[in-house]
Amino acid sequence: MAKYFDVHPENPQRRTISGVADSIRSGALVAYPTDSCFALGCRLGNREGIDRIRAIRGLDDRHHFTLVCENFAQLGRFVHVDNDVFRAVKAATPGPYTFILRATPEVPRRLAHPRKKTVGVRIPDHLVVRALLAELGEPLVSSTLLLPGEEEPLTQGWEIKERLDHQVDAVLDSGDCGTRPTTVIDYSGGEAEVLRYGAGDASRFE
């Protein structure tokens, strides 16, 4: 049965955030809010957690997981960013964008795209997840909480708790965070290619 945490959206309770971070370090899979919609997340080295995300979402091994990072310095550990891409990504973060970039050796092989050796990265503009990432001290391996056969992600914490009670370990709720997932931009080929139009303004990359 999943634990449910009601967190203040502007002043997240530190004790709660610390407890959730400890759970993630111990192998928990959590549902949490972002600046676009809810996501599923676990620790980078949590193989079981990643497999559970795949099972919940019905994903194959070609799916791009996203490393949700606290800041640009952390993001730079996991992807290769040249000067031109650096400026474009820096200008759009924090925000509702996911960038597909070439992975560094810091990214486990099974997490990177098997052929392209790429991974998604983002820095969300959301106080609760930023507080969680700061407490955790490492990125969350994440995927949008969009269930198989459904057109929109789940947006209400109570509904997530009800529907995924035996599939996730915790639900972190700070209120409605929208239904549009991130805009996804692929920079792995050197030039920006918009792969998905979402919550972020894609015009700056076109």
Q: Taking the model in full, what pTM does it have?
A: 0.94
Q: Is there a contact between 32 and 172 (Cβ–Cβ < 8 Å)?
A: yes
Quote the CA–CA distance of 130 and 136 in Å, as a whole number. Answer: 10
pLDDT tens readout for residues 71-91: 999 999 999 998 889 999 999
Class of domain 3-205: alpha beta
Q: How far is CA 60 from the centre of its chain?
A: 17
The whole-number pLDDT of residue 113 equals 83
Domain ranges of the chain: 3-205
The residue assigned the tokens 């198989």 is 148
